[in-house]
Amino acid sequence: MISILYEDRDLIVAEKPAGVESQSARGFEEDMVSLIRKHLQNNIHKLSPKKSTSVSTGEPPYVGVIHRLDRPVRGVMVYAKTKKAAALLSRQVQEGRMKKVYRAVVCGQPVDNCGTYVDFLWKDGKNNVSRIVDKSEAGGKEARLNYRVVDTKAAGNLLPQQPEAPLSLVEIELLTGRHHQIRVQMAGHGTPLYGDSKYGDSKKSPWAGPLALCAVRLSFFHPAGGKEMCFEIKEKGGAFDLF
Cβ atoms within 10 A of the Cβ of 237, count?
12
In this structure, what CATH number is given to the domain that contains residue 113? 3.30.2350.10
Q: Report the chain's mean pLDDT, rounded to a whole number.
A: 90
Residues 9 and 103 in one domain: no
Residues 86 and 200 in one domain: no
Residues 115 and 229 in one domain: yes
Residues 55 and 114 in one domain: no
Query: Do 210 and 237 contact (CB within 8 A), yes or no?
Result: yes
Domain final residue, candidates 76, 95, 114: 95
- For 169, counting Cβ atoms within 10 Å of its Cβ (0-12 exposed, 13-18 middle, 19+ buried), the class is buried
| pLDDT of amino acid 202 | 61
Q: List beta partners, residue 60.
A: none
Radius of gyration, alpha carbons of the chain: 19
Domain final residue, candidates 95, 124, 157: 95
Residues 164 and 223 in one domain: yes
Residues 171 and 218 in one domain: yes
Residues 67 and 123 in one domain: no
| Number of domains the chain contains | 2
* Chain segment 110-159, per-residue pLDDT in tens: 999 999 999 999 999 899 999 999 999 999 999 999 999 999 999 999 88
Mean pLDDT, rounded, for 10-17: 97
Residues 62 and 110 in one domain: no
Residues 3 and 31 in one domain: yes
Query: Can you give the pTM of this predicted structure?
Result: 0.89
Mean pLDDT, rounded, for 2-18: 96
Residues 198 and 181 in one domain: yes
| pLDDT of amino acid 59 | 80
* Chain segment 233-243, per-residue pLDDT in tens: 999 999 999 99
Q: How far apart are CA 12 and CA 115, in angstroms?
A: 33
* Chain segment 31-49, per-residue pLDDT in tens: 999 999 999 988 776 554 4
* Chain segment 45-82, per-residue pLDDT in tens: 655 445 444 444 568 899 999 999 999 999 999 999 99
Cβ atoms within 10 A of the Cβ of 165, count?
16
**Of 235, 138, 115, 113, the residue nearest 185 (C-alpha):** 115
**Of 166, 169, 141, the residue nearest 155 (C-alpha):** 166
Identify residue 84 by its one-letter amino acid code: K
Residues 143 and 193 in one domain: yes
Residues 108 and 65 in one domain: no
Percentage of the chain with pLDDT > 70? 90
Q: How far is CA 230 from the centre of its chain?
A: 15
Q: Which domain holds residue 77?
A: 1-95
208 has a pLDDT exceeding 70: no
Domain final residue, candidates 43, 76, 95: 95
Mean pLDDT, rounded, for 19-40: 87
